[in-house]
Structures are given as C-alpha cells and as structure tokens.
Amino acid sequence: MTGQENTNAIVFIHQSSGSSAVWDDVVSEKKLNQFHLYCIDIDGNGDRWDKNAIGPDYSLASLSNKILETINKLKLKNYILVGVSIGTNIIGETADKLSNCKGIVLIGAPIVGGKITPAEVLLPFEYGHVLIDVAPKDSDLDHYISGLTYYQNQKQQEMLKADYLKTDPNYRKQLLNTINEGLWSDEIGNLRDSHQPVMVVYGIYDKICNTRFLENVGLHLWQNKIHLIDNAGHLAHLDQPAFFSKLLVGFATDVFGESQTTSSPNS
C-alpha cells in the first residue's frame, strides 16, 4: 500500500531464508484495513537477491541498515515494526535508531544481547542446522520446514520451501559466520533503550526458541507478559493469522493512541 504522512502504518519483516509472502494471510485480514501495511524482503531473500552482486554483505549490521534505509525512504510518521524469527534480530540491531516508531512486535524472537547468547535462546531442534546450511539435503529441508509451524498446511509448506530455495546460499554461509563469530550487537539492550512498547509473541509449540527467556530482561512488555498462542509453532502468525491479527490490532490501537487500550484476544 502507498503510505501517507498522517496514516498509521505497520511494517513487516520476515524470517531467515524466507520472503514477504509469509505475511499474506495476516495482511489479508480485514481488521488490518485501517492501517497502511508494508512487507519488506531482507537482502538476499525473496525479491532482494541480486545475482549479479559481487561479495554481498549479509551481516546483521548490513541487513538492519538496509531495512532502516527502506523505512526512512517510506517517510512514515507513525509506524509499528513487526518481525518474525531473524526479522526480530534485525529490528533489535537497529531498535535504538528508529524514528517515529511507536511500538515493536517480536514473533518467535531469538534476539540476543548481554549475557544472552544463541545457546540460551535456541532449542536443540534436530534439523536446526538447515538454517545455516548452504545446500541441505532435501529430506532435511523438508523436516526443517515442517518444524516451523504447528499445522502441516501443504500450501504453506510449499511456499516456505520455495522461499528457502530461492534465497542466496551465501546468505546462509554468512549467517553461520555471524553465529560462530558472535557478530551481533546488544539487541536486547537496544530494544530496552528504545523505550518502545514491545509485544512478544511465541507459539506454544515453538521448536526453535525458548519461549520464556525474555520475561525478565527489562523490555517494556505490552500488557506485562509474553503472549503465547495455542496451536502454533515458531511462525505463530502463519498458524494462527486471525488470532495474531486481532492481537496486533489491540497493540496497534493502544500504542497509536487512537482509543483506550484494547483487550487481548485472550480475554
């Protein structure tokens, strides 16, 4: 959608080796029609893999800077950032540099910082290595994709696999280096220092991330809690788009200040 200066907006950032297509079921929810919606592809993913680029930089710092540049070009006056999985890391890398941002939503967040490293965040998922494999075995990829969601929806599985396969393999190679070398900033500290209200969402059946580690790290948690969605996995919004959208509208209505705090869908 085309942005307008006085229109509240929501900006979505997808998971690793994915694309903005992962938001299709969410942005099609009528309850979000009141907002301008933008779905951004991460460099090397989706439609942002330039096969002619020489030595592309896919470091977290570069990815977050590119997202920040895109947001600045949109010239949004009021917006919320929504990220899932590595999209939350990208937000965390640049959270203290955001202008006009009114709130942040983290889904399946593996964010790190301070004493919290990937070792404290990631669960021992058998096929987690596919996240950083340049060319995984097809059977491993299938198991990895099926582990991202609770419901084994064939159309969703095919979309997730297609997005993975069209991602620049060098992107995953650099992601491995990022993890091995600890090339991230204090993402949790950046989010805390941004003083933005943060809605943290996990699927109860998330196989990738510990769902409780962000409870006591000083984030300005919306409604003072982690929101756990039943019958949902790591990509909780994909399993439960209607429920997530209702939750998002409540958060957006609250932080944009258009009315009194909206009740959680849990109520």
* Residue 161's CATH number: 3.40.50.1820
Neighbours of 210 (CB within 10 A): 15
Spatial distance between the Cα atoms of 77 and 9, rounded to a whole number of angstroms: 8
Using CA atoms, how far residue 22 sits from 17, 31, 33, 80, 162, in Å, is: 11, 18, 18, 18, 11
Q: Reading across the β-sheet that carries 78-84, which strands appear in turn?
A: 36-40, 8-13, 78-84, 101-107, 198-203, 227-229
* pLDDT of res. 263: 34
Greatest pairwise CA separation for the chain in angstroms: 52
26: Cα separation from own chain's centroid = 13
Q: Is residue 108 part of a domain?
A: yes
Q: Is residue 263 part of a domain?
A: no
Which H helix or E strand runs over 36?
A: strand 36-40
Q: pTM for the complete prediction?
A: 0.91
From first to last of its 267 residues, the chain has per-residue pLDDT tens of 333 444 899 999 999 999 999 999 999 999 999 999 999 999 999 877 666 665 689 999 999 999 999 999 999 989 999 999 999 999 999 999 898 999 999 999 999 998 899 988 999 999 999 999 999 999 999 999 999 999 999 999 999 999 999 999 999 999 999 988 888 999 999 999 999 999 999 999 999 999 999 999 999 999 999 999 999 999 999 999 999 999 999 999 999 984 333 333 333
Spatial distance between the Cα atoms of 223 and 246, rounded to a whole number of angstroms: 15
Residue spans of beta strands (DSSP E) within 67-120: 78-84, 101-107
Q: Is residue 231 part of a domain?
A: yes
* pLDDT of res. 46: 82
* pLDDT of res. 54: 57
Spatial distance between the Cα atoms of 151 and 205, rounded to a whole number of angstroms: 10
Q: Is residue 266 part of a domain?
A: no
Q: Is residue 3 part of a domain?
A: no
Residue 132's domain comprises 8-256
* pLDDT of res. 267: 31
Q: Is residue 265 part of a domain?
A: no
* pLDDT of res. 5: 46
Spatial distance between the Cα atoms of 254 and 248, rounded to a whole number of angstroms: 10
Q: Is residue 115 part of a domain?
A: yes
Q: Is residue 2 part of a domain?
A: no
**Number of structural domains the chain divides into:** 1
